[in-house]
């Protein structure tokens, strides 16, 4: 009798839900009241739960949702990295290593002179990470609150060198020899926007050569432009980073600038305030600071900055 009353109560409360069942199912349930009358209450409760679940499933289009055993796939994001031109070869070599360990993060690069990249960021270019070839450009962005200051790190170090064409007959071994009459054209980066040009200017000023050599200068808009001018033989000599000189078999290093003649050559890195993928950008910057990337940077001639 208790089972029968329980059935009647269920029937009254669940009539609206049962009405949504196919007729064949409700007929079958009505035909089995006798069986239900002898079931224990606990069993009947479980059956009621089953009916409710079945009703909800049919109400959702007949599909029973089962939790997936697979974890959700992280959405893919694309980062834009604005980096100094002298980093191009190294970063392109590192990129497959990064994407292999971070398959949900793709990287696009924008290479150029640090000054030009700085101006692009100031004008609102959508950049996630900036890597400059000097502190000056990064300082300017930090002063405008355009970078996340706590993500700024000194990533790499480099050296400044004097180069000549590989087949040059000039016996250069010192920057001071650039005043010689048989040297008429010297390529350097534009000091206002090219860090390599700024460092070259510092060296030549400290050697008291800048004014005297001014008529000989052929300016380039980035350090790769200087390298190309020397490779082609269009100039007698040029001043570039050691890493740029080592990547070419068409030039040779004539002299290395003493480090006390210029500010330390460091490459700062930072995430931009405007980045729409800050966590992914932080993942990228950390990867460049880790061992695997550092080993690759060293193969391209970059050093580790002083702490």
Which long-range contacts link 210-217 to residues 24+ away (Cβ below 8 Å)? 212/179, 213/178, 213/179, 213/186, 216/178, 216/183, 216/184, 216/185, 216/186, 217/186, 217/187, 217/188
pLDDT of residue 23: 57
pLDDT of residue 306: 85
Work out the average pLDDT over 191-214. Answer: 97
pLDDT band at 207 (very low <50, low <70, confident <90, very high): very high
pLDDT of residue 203: 98
Residues 266, 280, 81: CA angle, nearest 5 degrees: 45
Among all chains, which residue has been given the structure tokens 């834009």? 80
- Up-side HSE of residue 271: CA atoms within 13 Å toward CB? 18
Decide if pLDDT at 93 tops 50: yes
pLDDT of residue 41: 46
pLDDT of residue 51: 46
pLDDT digits (tens, 9 = 90+) for 102-131: 999 999 999 999 999 999 999 999 999 999
Architecture per CATH, domain 77-157+265-299, reads as 3-Layer(aba) Sandwich (3.40)
- Chain centroid offset of residue 44 CA: 60
Q: Do domains 77-157+265-299 and 160-261 have the same CATH topology?
A: yes
pLDDT digits (tens, 9 = 90+) for 52-73: 444 444 444 444 444 444 444 4
Work out the average pLDDT over 246-260. Answer: 96
Decide if pLDDT at 6 tops 80: no
Work out the average pLDDT over 188-212. Answer: 97
Higher pLDDT, 220 or 27: 220
pLDDT of residue 44: 41
Architecture per CATH, domain 160-261, reads as 3-Layer(aba) Sandwich (3.40)
Map out the domains of the chain as residue ranges. 2-59, 77-157+265-299, 160-261
pLDDT band at 36 (very low <50, low <70, confident <90, very high): very low
Q: What is the DSSP string of 151-190?
A: G-EEEEE--EEEEEETT------SGGGGGSTT---EEEE-
- CA dist., res. 41 & res. 145, Å (int): 69
Average pLDDT, the chain: 85
Say if pTM beats, i.e. exceeds, 0.85: no
Share of the chain above pLDDT 70, in %: 76
pLDDT of residue 75: 72
């Amino acid at each position: 009798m208790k089972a029968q009353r329980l059935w009647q109560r269920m029937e009254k409360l669940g009539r609206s839900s049962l009405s949504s069942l196919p007729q064949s199912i409700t007929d079958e349930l009505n035909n089995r009241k006798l069986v239900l009358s002898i079931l224990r209450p606990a069993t009947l409760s479980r059956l009621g739960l089953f009916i409710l679940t079945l009703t909800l499933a049919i109400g959702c289009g007949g599909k029973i949702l089962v939790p997936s055993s697979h974890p959700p796939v992280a959405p893919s994001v694309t980062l834009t990295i604005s980096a100094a031109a002298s980093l191009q070869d190294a970063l392109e070599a590192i990129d497959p290593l990064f994407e292999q360990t971070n398959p949900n993060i793709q990287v696009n690069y924008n290479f150029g002179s640090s000054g030009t990249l700085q101006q692009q960021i100031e004008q609102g270019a959508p950049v996630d990470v900036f890597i400059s070839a000097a502190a000056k450009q990064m300082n300017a962005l930090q002063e405008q609150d355009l970078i996340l200051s706590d993500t700024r790190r000194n990533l790499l170090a480099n050296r400044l060198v004097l180069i000549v064409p590989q087949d040059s007959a000039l016996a250069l071994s010192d920057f001071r020899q650039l005043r010689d009459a048989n040297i008429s054209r010297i390529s350097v980066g534009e000091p206002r926007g090219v860090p390599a040009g700024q460092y070259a200017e510092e060296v030549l000023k400290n050697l008291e050569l800048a004014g005297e050599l001014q008529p000989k200068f052929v300016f380039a808009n980035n350090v790769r432009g200087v390298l190309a001018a020397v490779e082609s033989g269009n100039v007698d000599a040029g001043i570039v980073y050691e890493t740029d000189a080592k990547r070419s078999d068409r030039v040779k290093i004539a002299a290395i600038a003493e480090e006390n003649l210029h500010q330390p050559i460091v490459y700062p890195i930072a995430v931009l305030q405007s980045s729409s993928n800050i966590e992914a950008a932080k993942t990228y910057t950390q990867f460049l600071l880790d061992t695997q990337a550092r080993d690759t940077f060293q193969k391209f001639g970059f050093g580790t900055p002083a702490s």
